[in-house]
A = this chain, B = another copy of it.
Amino acid sequence: MRADAARNLTAVLHAGARLLAEDPGASMAAIAAAAGVDRTTVHRRFANREALLSAVFQAKLDSAERVLDEARLLESPLPVALHRYLEGIIPVSREWPVDMRLMMRKDPAAWTRREEQSARLDAFIRRALGEGYLRAGVDAAWARTILDELVDTAAHRFPDLEPPQAADLVAATLLNGLGAT
């Protein structure tokens, strides 16, 4: 692929992730304009709208998968793994702000791939329960969901937080909450 084509491709993917995050019904024309590219250029590379969305999802899933690999969730000491995951996933979530859960309904490939990544985090939560980092009796599904929500909140609602500080905040909130001791 030629260099300018590659630049345009990533510009379109990033613009797509950004606009679709604000408005899931954003038009191809709007995405093309935001990427500084003609509408037909997008149509030439992506046969249809669905294919563009899939490409955005794949880009996000690629980045997330790399973070999961490097976090070594089941091998590293648990607090280390947690912080490494958080510090890695927050920039990914900011780079690809498009919401997964709502938009991947009609993309089975992306859906199953997300399920696989989700299973790895489920295993991490089970490990945390087994090793006593989470209180006994805490529901694993609840803990898992709260972890995701805290990450999304820190990533998008507090965009000025640097990843290390954001990771600290998420971990502290998850483990200790916000109440007085």
**A binding-site residues for B, Cβ under 8 Å:** 22-25, 102, 132-136, 138, 141-143, 145-146, 149-150, 152-153, 157-158, 169, 172-181
- In the complex where A157-B145, A158-B142 touch, is A176 in contact with B176 (Cβ < 8 A)? yes
- In this complex, the member of A133, A143, A176, A180 whose beta carbon has the largest number of chain B beta carbons within 10 angstroms is A180
List, in ascending order, chain B residues with CB within 8 A of A24's CB. Answer: 23-25
Subset of 6 A-B contacts with CB under 8 Å: A24-B24, A133-B180, A134-B178, A145-B153, A174-B179, A176-B177
Judge whether A177 and B177 touch: CB under 8 Å: yes
**What's the dominant secondary structure at chain A's contact region?**
helix
List, in ascending order, chain B residues with CB within 8 A of A153's CB. Answer: 145-146, 149
A24 to B102, CA, bound (A): 10
Judge whether A132 and B174 touch: CB under 8 Å: no
Contact among B102, B133, B141, B178 with A146 in the assembled complex (CB-CB below 8 Å)? B178
A136 to B179, CA, bound (A): 9
- In the complex where A24-B24, A142-B158, A153-B145 touch, is A174 in contact with B180 (Cβ < 8 A)? no
